[in-house]
Structure 1
Amino acid sequence: MGSSMLRLVLGLSVLSCVLVTSSAQTCRNQTFSNRVFATCRDLPQLTAYLHWTYDQASGRLEIAFKHAGITSTNRWVAWAINPRNTLDPAMIGAQALVAIPQSNGSPRAYASSITSTSTTLEEGAISYPLSGLSATFENNEVTIFATLTLPNGTTSFVHVWQDGPLSGTTPREHSHETSHQNSKEILDLLSGSSTQPTGNSRQRRRNTHGVLNAVSWGILMPTGAIIARYLKVFKSADPTWFYLHITCQASAYIVGVSGLGTGLKLGSDSEGVDYDTHRALGVCAVLEAQQGP
């Protein structure tokens, strides 16, 4: 009896594993009525998939972009190509295909040229000839269909995909969680392979900006003040305390100015994003330090 029960449990376990594995969605088990695509790819973020057929001679690219997990009509979905061919930032300059689910089940599909990170995805012409743009919304999945004509000789491009909230019928800025920040890659149209960014230069600059200011205002400046406040009362520390105080304060100022410079550079590179309060506080801190006590 014990042996039979063990075999039954093992059998059910194997069957469960098979069922779970077979139910895992990949682009290869997705089909479309009256449409067949030559290549597909499971995109690494946001439960999204891209199907395409590409004729290099004519530049004709037929795509179906599928985004799962859209459980309501209060979210927009977009897939885009960035002709600037840059991953940092990948959104600025991207030529997007947008779908907004409607309560009647038929999404509104349109094109949008993205000019800033705070875009509301305004409808307009894009830089690629476009035809056959449509979208569907079924089983919590939005699918965008379109045919684009790419420039001669195109074999790869940077593409980006996103989803975000709606305010009424107007798209609002998407989340900045890691999955959204990393929903971009360089796609090889011929092989179907992709290249992920090896590093995010903007993120490195942000980290540098934060470290410089933390060292300046969080370590060096307070240390200089503590030395002046507590060591100068000891005659044996005179004039050593003064030189240490000056060294800390001067170093703090130099490092702080460097941090300000990286911050201003980040601000100038962030088209459409304003950090007015943060910038003003940083400038005031540097000016105050320059005036001295």
Structure 2
Amino acid sequence: MGSSMLRLVLGLSVLSCVLVTSSAQTCRNQTFSNRVFATCRDLPQLTAYLHWTYDQASGRLEIAFKHAGITSTNRWVAWAINPRNTLDPAMIGAQALVAIPQSNGSPRAYASSITSTSTTLEEGAISYPLSGLSATFENNEVTIFATLTLPNGTTSFVHVWQDGPLSGTTPREHSHETSHQNSKEILDLLSGSSTQPTGNSRQRRRNVFALFLRPNKDHKYRVYWNVYHHLVGYATIIISVVNIFEGFETIEKYVGDRYNSWKHAYIGIIGALAGIAVFLEAFTWIIVFKRRKSENKIPHGANGANGYGSRPQQV
């Protein structure tokens, strides 16, 4: 029952996250003046969205990359394709489109070929034919528009997106928070599906390996395995909850006044789930103790009316 409870709590936690963020902006309710795109995707990091129309025969790719939550003109925004088609590292070799908001007009938009991790996004030519590059900055959202021509036969590519601070007018290194480190994926231009970076597989292998070490129920060390099992389960729940709160802190600057509503709703849901979890855990242990008590109890006269079977006592 303990494992079932753990799965229930984790499942409800995931559901609560979906419910809390269901009111968030999506690419499907975004529109552009005099521009219509065939496909769009909500990117998994940094409150960003990509719209595109792709003609595979000609390689013509029209895009609109939107990054929300840019509340200051002292930041740069970039979207890039990496022709090396590698996620690690995805930055080196990326062909970037950069936008820098201006306080007195439209953002400055230009192209940059990234050759090292210490880049300052210098303006220069990129490896793809490029036209129609422009950008807008409205309602704390930077949008980059462009048309690129991809090599014949291209159906997918690695793309990355970032934002970072400025020093004067020069872009500086972006944050190394998880959301920035994972703002990359392999995008299928035809289906709109993607492949994102995978997590640390060592931890997963260790947890699976632990299952093979589980002693039998009657083994003297089974109690220690049970303690380990419960501690890992509780730790997983706690880390998941804390991680989501960290995520809220990360997106605060991107979602504005929606931050408090989402956070309070999540706290309420987690509080309710915690109450359910405590009740189920207490109920589980009550059943366990009752079962053990009944197993250890020897009923009077179990082997006969006088406790010695049907044979009469000898005097």
TM-score, normalised with respect to structure 1: 0.61
What is the CA-CA distance between 1:22 and the residue it aligns to?
A: 7.9
- Secondary structure of the residue aligned to 1:180 is helix
Q: Which SS does the other structure have where 2:179 is aligned?
A: helix
Distance 1:43 1:21 in 2: 14
Q: Which residue of 2 aligns with 1:260?
A: none
1:198 positional shift: 2.5
CA distance, structure 1, for counterparts of residue 113 and residue 200 of structure 2: 23
Give the conservation status (yes or no) of the 8 Å contact 1:40–1:52.
yes
Runs of 4+ more than 3 Å apart:
20-23
Q: Distance in 1 between matches of 2:21 and 2:44?
A: 18
**1:269-284 maps to which residues of 2 (within 5 A)?**
none
| CA distance 1:92–1:22, change in 2 (3 Å) | closer
- 1:180 and 1:59 map into 2 onto residues whose CA distance is 29
Q: Which has the higher contact order (CA 8 A, sep 6+)?
A: 2
Q: 1:113 and 1:156, CA in 2 relative to 1: closer, same or farther beyond 3 A?
A: same
Q: Given residue 98 of structure 1, which amino acid in structure 2 is its aligned partner? A: V
Report which stretch shifted further, 126-135 or 98-107. 98-107
Q: Which runs of 5+ in 1 are unaligned?
A: 1-19, 205-293
Partner of residue 187, structure 1: 187
Q: CA shift at 1:104, angstroms?
A: 1.3
Q: CA deviation at 1:118?
A: 1.2
Give the 3-state SS of the residue equivalent to 1:107 in structure 2: strand
1:136-155 alignment to 2 at 5 Å? 136-155=136-155
SS of residue in 2 equivalent to 1:67: strand
What SS does the corresponding residue of 1:91 show, helix, strand or coil? Answer: coil
Calculate the aligned-residue CA RMSD, in Å. 1.6
Between the aligned partners of 2:23 and 2:29, the Cα distance in structure 1 is 10
| C-alpha separation in 1, matches of 2:155 and 2:21 | 33
CA displacement 1:18-55 (0-9 Å, x = unmatched)? xx988521000000000000000000000000000000
Verify: 1:86 aligned to 2:76, yes or no.
no
Equivalence map 1:1-293=2 (5 Å):
23-199=23-199
Alpha-carbon distance change, 106 to 200 in structure 1, aligned in 2, over 3 angstroms:
farther
Give the Å deviation of 1:200: 6.9
Q: Identify if the C-alpha distance between structure 1 residues 152 and 131 changes in structure 2 by more than 3 Å, giving closer, same or farther.
A: same
**Which whole-Å deviations, capped at 9, do the CAs of 1:47-79 have from their partners, x for residues lacking one?**
000000000000000000000000010000000
TM-superposition CA deviations, 1:180-212 (whole Å, max 9, x none): 0000000000000000123579xx8xxxxxxxx
- d(CA) in 2 for partners of 1:90 and 1:23? 31
Going from structure 1 to structure 2, the CA distance change for 1:168 and 1:200 (only over 3 Å counts) comes to: farther
**C-alpha distance after superposition, 1:212-252 (max 9, x if no partner):** xxxxxxxxxxxxxxxxxxxxxxxxxxxxxxxxxxxxxxxxx
> What's the TM-score once normalised by structure 2's chain length?
0.56
In the aligned structure 1, how far is the partner of 2:173 from the partner of 2:62?
Answer: 28
What do residues 262-292 of structure 1 show as CA deviations (whole Å, max 9, x unaligned)? xxxxxxxxxxxxxxxxxxxxxxxxxxxxxxx
Residue identity (%): 100
CA distance in 1, matches of 2:116, 2:56: 31
Q: Equivalents in 2 of 1:188, 1:164: separation in Å?
A: 27
Aligned length: 183
Residue 105 of structure 1 contacts residue 136 of structure 1 at CA under 8 Å; is this kept in 2? no
CA contact (8 A) 1:80 1:97 kept: yes
Structure with greater Cα Rg: 2
Structure 1 pair 55–179 and aligned structure 2 pair: CA distance change class (3 A): same
Distance 1:93 1:148 in 2: 17
| Matched-pair contact (CA < 8 Å) for 1:80–1:160 | yes
Question: CA separation of 1:200/1:118 partners in 2, compared to 1, >3 Å: closer, same or farther?
Answer: farther
* Secondary structure class of the residue paired with 1:160: strand
SS of 2:102's partner is coil
